[in-house]
């Protein structure tokens, strides 16, 4: 295992604010507003969840295995009818996918929403989703990869917190490791504080702020659109897959040139599978983030590698390389 390079800073990020500052993009005009995302309802042992397919198709047999794993935990599980439908690289055409998605979101029968897989497709229907239905009945919405687009859109349009986390086709099919599954259910019950150890440090420091993030390429693609979501003074987490290091460099540089990287308080980097050798990635991350004087950690267990750690968007957290810990300092779901 190659340890990440560490740049020890004399100064650390020490300014803490309780209210995140969200950056919304409306056309070409950006405006900053002070507000917090509303928390969804918690899960209980008998919650009824739906498994949706808003992006690419899945093999139904894999999703059924994963659904049975969730049922063994006590959940009632309903699968969307288009999970195995195939229209080129999509789980059905745009009309079918958005119609089924909205039908589930409008139903009061379900206590939360999982997704079969990511891939591609949410961009095509993101402006047709019923965000009023989400706002009217906030429930946990969980996924990663292409679901980054949905997380950002919900934050902007519904002002509801969601979760970057495991999906059925990979994570739940193969199973989560015991510590990550315990973290998953604890967070969705509303347990807090929760702590996860840091193993790889790029730059030292301490920070507090609201967590936000997802797949880097999706965040980059949505910059300047009505779904451009960013939390000033937040702790940004990101990951990606199969992007050569020069593309990672280009996307991060694009975000730097927008000015928004100056405002974040910490960075948590997940998996970068297929993005270069460990030594190459380590050297680049040290070069890019080392002068920012904020805590930066890498190889956090989320991203396109399976066994995803649940990351709550909009929830307050503390990142400390001194204590080697990420702490979720408040419940990620609403109280009774």
pLDDT tens digits along 102-137: 999 999 999 999 999 999 999 999 999 999 999 999
CATH 3.40.50.10740 assigned to domain 48-189? The reply is yes
The whole-number pLDDT of residue 5 equals: 29
pLDDT tens digit sequence for 208-252: 999 999 999 999 999 999 999 999 999 999 999 999 999 999 999
Q: What residue spans of the chain are helical by DSSP H?
A: 60-71, 94-106, 122-125, 131-136, 147-157, 173-174, 178-189, 216-221, 245-257, 278-289
The whole-number pLDDT of residue 19 equals: 39
| 8 Å CB contact between 223 and 254 | yes
The whole-number pLDDT of residue 17 equals: 33
The whole-number pLDDT of residue 53 equals: 98
CATH superfamily of domain region 21-36+193-328: LD-carboxypeptidase A C-terminal domain-like (3.50.30.60)
The whole-number pLDDT of residue 25 equals: 44
The whole-number pLDDT of residue 335 equals: 82
Query: Which segments of the chain belong to CATH 3.50.30.60?
Result: 21-36+193-328
Tokens 């969730």 map to which residue? 70
Q: Mapping DSSP to helix (H, G, I), strand (E, B) and coil, where does residue 308 land? A: coil
Which DSSP letter does residue 91 get?
A: S
Query: Which segments of the chain belong to CATH 3.40.50.10740?
Result: 48-189
Six token digits for residue 39: 């928390």
* Gyration radius of the chain's alpha carbons: 19
Q: Are strands 266-269 and 296-298 parallel, antiparallel or unpaired?
A: parallel
Tokens 């408040």 map to which residue? 330
The whole-number pLDDT of residue 45 equals: 79
For the chain, first and last CA: distance in Å? Answer: 45
The pTM of this model reads 0.90
Residue ranges, the chain, pLDDT below 50: 1-21, 23-34
Question: What residues contact residue 61 under an 8 Å CB cut-off, 6+ apart?
Answer: none
Q: Are strands 325-328 and 21-26 parallel, antiparallel or unpaired?
A: unpaired
| 8 Å CB contact between 75 and 140 | no
């Amino acid at each position: 295992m190659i340890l990440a390079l560490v740049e020890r800073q004399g100064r650390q990020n020490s300014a803490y604010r309780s209210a995140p500052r969200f950056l919304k993009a409306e056309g070409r005009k950006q405006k900053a507003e002070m507000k917090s995302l509303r928390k969804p309802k918690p899960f209980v042992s008998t919650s009824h969840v739906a498994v949706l397919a808003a992006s690419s198709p899945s093999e139904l047999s894999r999703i059924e295995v994963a659904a049975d794993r969730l049922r063994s935990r006590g959940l009632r599980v309903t699968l969307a009818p288009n999970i195995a439908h195939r229209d080129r690289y999509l789980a059905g055409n745009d009309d079918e996918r958005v119609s089924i998605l909205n039908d589930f979101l409008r139903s009061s029968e379900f206590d939360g929403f999982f997704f079969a897989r990511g891939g591609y497709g949410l961009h095509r229907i993101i402006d047709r989703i019923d965000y009023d239905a989400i706002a009217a009945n906030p429930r946990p919405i969980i996924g990663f990869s292409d679901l980054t687009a949905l997380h950002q859109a919900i934050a902007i349009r519904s002002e509801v917190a969601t979760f970057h986390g495991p999906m059925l086709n990979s994570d739940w099919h193969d199973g989560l490791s015991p510590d990550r599954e315990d973290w998953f259910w604890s967070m969705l019950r509303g347990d807090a504080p929760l702590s996860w150890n840091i193993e790889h440090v790029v730059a030292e420091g301490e920070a507090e702020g609201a967590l936000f993030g997802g797949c880097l390429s999706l965040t980059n693609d949505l910059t300047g659109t009505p779904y451009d979501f960013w939390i000033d003074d937040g702790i940004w987490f990101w990951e990606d897959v199969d992007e050569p290091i020069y593309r990672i460099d280009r996307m991060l540089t694009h975000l730097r040139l927008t000015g928004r990287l100056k405002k974040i308080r910490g960075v948590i980097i997940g998996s970068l599978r297929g993005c270069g050798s460990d030594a190459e990635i380590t050297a680049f991350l040290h070069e890019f983030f080392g002068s920012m004087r904020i805590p930066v950690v890498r190889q956090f267990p989320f991203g396109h590698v399976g066994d995803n750690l649940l990351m709550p968007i909009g929830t307050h957290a503390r990142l400390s390389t001194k204590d080697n810990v990420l702490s979720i300092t408040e419940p990620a779901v609403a109280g009774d």
